[in-house]
Amino acid sequence: MDADAVRERASDLPAEPGVYQFEAADGTVLYVGKAVDVRDRVRSYVDPRSERIQRMVRRADAVDFAVTDTETQALLLEANLVKRHQPRYNVRLKDDKSYPLVQFTDHDVPRVEVTRDPDEGAAAFGPYTDKGDVETVVKAVREVYGLRGCSDHKYRHRDRPCLDYEMGLCSAPCTGEVGEREYAADVETARRFFEGETGALADPLERAMDDAARAEDFERAANLRDRLDVVASFHEGGGGAVAGGDEAATTDVLGVAVAGEEATVARLHAERGQLVERERHRVEAPAVERSAATERASGEERPASRVAEVLSAFLVQFYAERELPDRLLLPEHHGDDDVAAWLDAAGVEVRVPGAGREATLVDLALKNAHRRSGGGDELAALADALGIDRPARIEGFDVSHAQGKAVVGSDVCFVDGSAEKPDYRRKKLDDENDDYANVRRLVAWRAERAVEGRDDRPDPDLLLIDGGRGQLDAALDALEDVGWDVPVVALAKDEEVVVTPERTYDWDGDAPQLHVLQRVRDEAHRFAVAYHQTVRDEVATALDGVEGVGPELRKRLLRRFGSVEAVREASAEALRSVEGVGEATAETIQRRL
């Protein structure tokens, strides 16, 4: 379609909430979007701002639409259509059945097995990323608790136990060697392991290992030791308590890693204060503009980050068909007002923690998102690629602000590839809407403290700046002015290219040296955004002095709507949806603003 065709089609569309689809001549859905005003939104494609969207529009032959009663209905309908059609130009959650799961089948005598496509009614756990570890654990479960793994065909009509019984892998409920009640108790204990209770499997394995060692059956003891190591690390922190609030509440913690046009979302799920589930999801993340790809701050708009785009798409597509948790912990704000309204109406508390145990959980989710299969020394690979000594200690820098207001900077530290939280620092900067100047001041502050001996941390082996050539040059200027000799590189978000003083590297998305830099960059960004949110909530606003609006309610209003300007534009109904705002307070806010 050319501009005239898009303009003509837009004129026929309703000025109401709904969804729209760009379709190819063969009926293939290329892109699905939602809009408060379908006509106005489709008209914006007359002159698309991104080259990729321009290609999509040129390929399109038609625009279809569906009107909804509310913006929330449009949000959920968009998610369903994206799942159904998997449009090439949408951010979309891919089918997670490519990861192995563990299922306990829905039988009177359940079997336990590894599967990628769980049976109807089965209790499934996962998905997991390492099939070898899953198979090791399932074998250990069968050996400890004697659970069957045979098909229904083999289970029925047996006269005597099979070889699995002789090998100690099954207690043979098929021939009555164990009663159904006793077997059911063993199944329940085994399930507790997959729900996060590591000791349900680790403790009997450890006892068996000790017995084998005392009997001088050292080969079996060594085998059990290796199996115990896999079991002990299977949940990767699954026994840790979740910080904050009501322990009866459920909490989901999300971490996002974006690499080119692919992304990984790691989800940690907690119940009763304990992490009980860990999973990763692949997301197709083409670099396209969303229908609401902006974040609001102080009445202004700025482009949403790639992480925010992935979060907003994932939240709706993943949870539209699942039960929402009571609390969501995110690495940064998703930046979509419609998603925020949907979560708020569902009573979901959304936080972007900057410090404390909740921030540690987000960091764990980010590590899971960035983790790839396989080993190797990422830092050694980074050293080889850049031609420097192995950078055991890396500090990452980013700045965050709202159109030059509430400007802050972050300085995070990683040692041997892992976050060193005690060495994190943050800095309020002068208000200025100039990213280069802000980076220059932030790096100069760190450099001056190091040169003058006022910083109690060791000098880093490498500085990483969140940004591109401009931000790198600003950092280099600061280092030269102060006289601090430390290698420095930059990592740009959208292109995922590494910029050094000498050249630019465009490494493969699976390159280990890129992964470690992405972890540092993402953490610096998260830490800066979280601090900016705190500072922004502290500054004086037009809400100060409004009768009935105290400091806590002001924070809730700003977090819900993003800015004073958005509060000013909100309807009385939307204002009343915020905890603590009644009819009188809503009327007062509208009158005073």
pLDDT tens for each residue of 256-279: 988 777 788 988 888 776 666 777
What residue type is 256 in one-letter code? Answer: V
**Residue 57: its pLDDT value, please?**
92
Q: How far is CA 221 from the centre of its chain?
A: 40
Which 8-state DSSP code applies to residue 460?
A: P
Query: 53 near 89, Cβ under 8 Å?
Result: yes
Q: Where does residue 42 rank: exposed (0-12), middle (13-18), buried (19+ CB within 10 A)? A: buried
Separation of alpha carbons 354 and 532, rounded Å? 10
Long-range pairs, 300-305, Cβ under 8 A, ≥24:
300/402, 300/403, 300/563, 302/403, 304/335, 304/336, 305/332, 305/335, 305/493, 305/525
Q: Which of 497, 443, 465 is nearest to 394 (CA)?
A: 465
**Residue 296: its pLDDT value, please?**
36
Separation of alpha carbons 236 and 464, rounded Å? 28
Domain boundaries, the chain: 3-90, 98-233, 251-365, 378-536, 544-592
Query: 18 near 66, Cβ under 8 Å?
Result: yes
pLDDT tens for each residue of 36-91: 999 999 999 998 767 778 889 999 999 999 888 778 778 877 887 887 788 988 88
Separation of alpha carbons 171 and 374, rounded Å? 36
CATH number for the segment(s) 378-536: 3.30.420.340
Q: Is 36 helix (H, G, I), strand (E, B) or coil?
A: coil
Query: 521 near 466, Cβ under 8 Å?
Result: yes
Q: Is 497 helix (H, G, I), strand (E, B) or coil?
A: coil
Fold of 251-365: Nucleotidyltransferase; domain 5 (3.30.420)
Q: Could you tell me the two tokens for 85?
A: 């059609």
Residue 540 pLDDT greater than 50, yes or no:
no
Q: What are phi and psi of 328, to 5 degrees?
A: -120, 130
Q: Which of 429, 425, 427 is nearest to 407 (CA)?
A: 429
Q: Does the fold of domain 544-592 match that of domain 3-90?
A: no
Residue 100 pLDDT greater than 80, yes or no:
no
Q: Where does residue 64 rank: exposed (0-12), middle (13-18), buried (19+ CB within 10 A)? A: middle
Separation of alpha carbons 519 and 363, rounded Å? 9
Query: 99 near 117, Cβ under 8 Å?
Result: no
Q: What does the pLDDT average to over 419-436?
A: 89
Query: 3 near 48, Cβ under 8 Å?
Result: no
**Residue 29: its pLDDT value, please?**
92
Exposure on the CB side of residue 104, measured as CA atoms within 13 A: 20
Domain 3-90 architecture = 3-Layer(aba) Sandwich (3.40)
What residue type is 192 in one-letter code? Answer: R
Share of the chain above pLDDT 90, in %: 26
What is the pLDDT confidence band of residue 135, given thresholds at 50, 70 and 90? confident
What pTM was computed for the model?
0.43
Of 24-33, 276-285, 438-447, 524-533, the least confident: 276-285
Q: Could you tell me the two tokens for 566?
A: 């958005």
| Residues in contact with 521: Cβ distance below 8 Å, sequence separation at least 6, in sequence order | 396, 398, 464, 466, 491, 493
Angle at CA of residue 564, ends 559 and 569, nearest 5°:
105
CATH number for the segment(s) 544-592: 1.10.150.20
Distance in angstroms between the alpha carbons of the first and the last residue of the chain: 44
| Residues in contact with 374: Cβ distance below 8 Å, sequence separation at least 6, in sequence order | none
pLDDT tens for each residue of 354-389: 767 788 788 888 877 876 533 457 888 898 888 888
